[in-house]
Amino acid sequence: MHVRLCDEFEHGFGWIADEFLLRCSHALVADGRVWLVDPVDAEGVEERIRAAGEPAGVIQLLDRHGRDSAALAARLGVPHHVVPRSPLAGAPFEFRSIRKWRFWQEVALWWPDAHVLACADALATVAPYRAPGERVAVHPLLRPFPPRRTFGGVEPRHILCGHGEGVRGDEAAPALRTAVANARRGLPSVMLQIVRAGARGAAAKAERR
């Protein structure tokens, strides 16, 4: 799989797969220890992780978002935390519940001291998920009842997403507020975009046959 680096900042870095939904993974560095968030494995990833510090753990924010979390945790010799809801020993993060349903278990990672917010599927920047005027978007299936309480009082300077490059700097907090406020009224246009994107993908696949 081909990946490229992205979301490089003072507290870590990301890497993104060049594919339709742009799966994005992150490494967060705190006190010389590296925590992986929803990682996809690829050539050069392990070397970059080890160069950043001592591997501390792999965090999976969504139950169905396994990716290569288990394999990387085993190879690095660190714990694999699946949808953690309590603080992790030695980590500066807290976890905020997004959904606790039978078929959707997801938490957001919030690093208060660094103002870093990381999500698996709840927030994304990929084009099909974004309504007009949105820099970052709430997942289409969460738009009818967006996780307002989860993001209440959160003022991020870095939003890291599981799909698409993140949003950083002064635009991060306003982008989050817009995404939550616009979640319901933006749903019709987003669903139309997803249908159109699916049709284009099917047509392209047919042409390759």
Q: Please state, in angstroms and rounded to a whole number, the distance separating the CA atoms of residues 76 and 80.
A: 10
Give the pLDDT score at 205: 65
Query: Is a pLDDT exceeding 90 seen at residue 173?
Result: yes
Provide the b/e sequence for 28-50 (b: ≥16 CB within 10 Å): bbbeebbbbbbbbbeeebeeebe
Percentage of the chain beyond pLDDT 90 is 83
3-125+147-169 belongs to which homologous superfamily? Ribonuclease Z/Hydroxyacylglutathione hydrolase-like (3.60.15.10)
If you average pLDDT over residues 111-132, what whole number do you get? 95
Query: Is a pLDDT exceeding 70 seen at residue 23?
Result: yes
DSSP secondary structure string for all residues of 97-146: EEEEETTEEEEEEEETTTTEEE-SSSEE--GGGPPTT-SSEE-GGGTTS-
Query: Is a pLDDT exceeding 80 seen at residue 186?
Result: yes
Q: What is the pLDDT of residues 52-104, one digit of tens each?
A: 999 999 999 999 989 999 999 999 999 999 999 999 999 999 999 999 988 89
Query: Is a pLDDT exceeding 90 seen at residue 42?
Result: yes
